[in-house]
Structure 1
């Protein structure tokens, strides 16, 4: 489960279990960071453009975002993926020098869960204008969506997240539950980490198992390996 946006994720998962959307049919995922639109990046982010560092769009935004999706609708059983470098060169803003980009800046994914839920995702680092994230889950009775708010261009791990719902022919309505940190003064990024620690503390007190474990991390790395393998071989692959 994603270590970010826990309140939205947990609330969404509970609503799905209660049948808010009916039977889940599909999930559509879009996440675009505004990382210099892929052509100009701040010096602190230059390391993410080197594939050997393992900190690119697949590992960071892809891992966080797809982790949240699997937490909500179940693990993927097989997938087809494409990785692309649409900006092969980037300028480091402070240094005014160009470097080669070796890590993909676009991830396209077609996946399915054991329950037959179909998933499509486009995750990229190249948004010039309104970078944002939206995870939309459609069912036989309605829809749920987790959408980014403040700091949306930073991706799911650095954004304020909001939960929206729609039933039948209705319009989207906010479905945010209680947030134990609402009265505390945190920025968006620090608040996301603080929420993780708050839930961890609750798990320790109640002997629950809500926060991610080492096994969850291993599972996600295997999923990312499957994505890379599918892209390298241009084939559909199992995720286990």
Structure 2
């Protein structure tokens, strides 16, 4: 995706939107009860949202402004213990749903993000569209865990009366030990530094600050 964006084949980027619906955070077993307490920092915003927004920032740049909202649709989910027996759990204050609107990158591209949990009665969906003036990219798959279950990558195809999505064949991205090989090769473009990790932490903190205050915010430091 980075190569396609750099090539300019999409033209000016007009907007991007991300929609994720998943039952993962409602199916955790009892040994994952730590995820239901916001103070533990393991929830849909910090884990799933953090990874996906990190990818978005990698492709399009950092958020210049953002306005977020978090909520709990399932305050008392039913969990299972290690033996598979039903056990009633309770969220303390950990969100299972969040939305975000803002602007990203030097061009301040409009962004819309919606991630919510649901029971397994509904199929999971991951869909991310980057809309350009000359064409668009779309990633689509059955899970928010795109690092483990890679989505399909598609690009709009021209040349006919009807514009349609055309899949771009990709090599297998799940390679055991790939991160260690990158480190051994000293591939600076693919190695995450502590400074970059701090920026991502500031982004997550800004999301919660905005959700609590109801105000638009940023995580830029002059």
In structure 2, distance between residues paired with 1:24 and 1:127: 35
Per-residue CA deviation, residues 35-67 of structure 1 (Å, 9 max, x unaligned), is 27x3x6422432211212211001100101101
Q: CA deviation at 1:239?
A: 2.2
Is the CA contact 1:132–1:153 (under 8 Å) kept in the aligned structure 2? yes
Change (3 A) 1:127 1:31: farther
In structure 1, distance between residues paired with 2:31 and 2:148: 16
Query: Hey, what does 1:232 align to over in structure 2?
Result: 212
Per-residue CA deviation, residues 82-113 of structure 1 (Å, 9 max, x unaligned), is 00011111111234232221200111000102
Is the CA contact 2:64–2:108 (under 8 Å) kept in the aligned structure 1? no
In structure 1, distance between residues paired with 2:69 and 2:187: 41
Is the CA contact 1:21–1:167 (under 8 Å) kept in the aligned structure 2? no
In structure 2, distance between residues paired with 1:110 and 1:125: 18
Q: Provide structure 1 residue ranges, at least 5 long, that are not aligned to the other structure.
A: 1-11, 182-190
Q: Please state whether the residue corresponding to 1:32 is helix, strand or coil.
A: strand
In structure 2, distance between residues paired with 1:32 and 1:100: 21
Query: Hey, what does 2:133 align to over in structure 1?
Result: 140
2:16 is aligned with 1:27: yes
Is the CA contact 2:20–2:144 (under 8 Å) kept in the aligned structure 1? no
Where does 1:208-219 land on structure 2 (aligned, <5 Å)? 208-219=188-199
Is the CA contact 1:64–1:157 (under 8 Å) kept in the aligned structure 2? no
Q: Please state whether the residue corresponding to 2:169 is helix, strand or coil.
A: coil
Query: Hey, what does 2:7 align to over in structure 1?
Result: 18
Is the CA contact 1:203–1:209 (under 8 Å) kept in the aligned structure 2? no
2:54 is aligned with 1:67: yes
Larger fraction in helix: 1
- The number of residue pairs the alignment matches comes to 211
Query: Hey, what does 2:86 align to over in structure 1?
Result: 96
Is the CA contact 1:143–1:167 (under 8 Å) kept in the aligned structure 2? no
In structure 1, distance between residues paired with 2:131 and 2:4: 13
Q: CA deviation at 1:236?
A: 0.3
Where does 1:172-211 land on structure 2 (aligned, <5 Å)? 172-179=165-172, 191=174, 194=176, 197-198=177-178, 201-202=181-182, 204-205=184-185, 207-211=187-191
Query: Hey, what does 2:97 align to over in structure 1?
Result: 106
Instruction: Tell me the TM-score normalized by structure 1.
Output: 0.79
Runs of 4+ in 1 over 6 A off after TM superposition: none
Q: CA deviation at 1:207?
A: 4.6
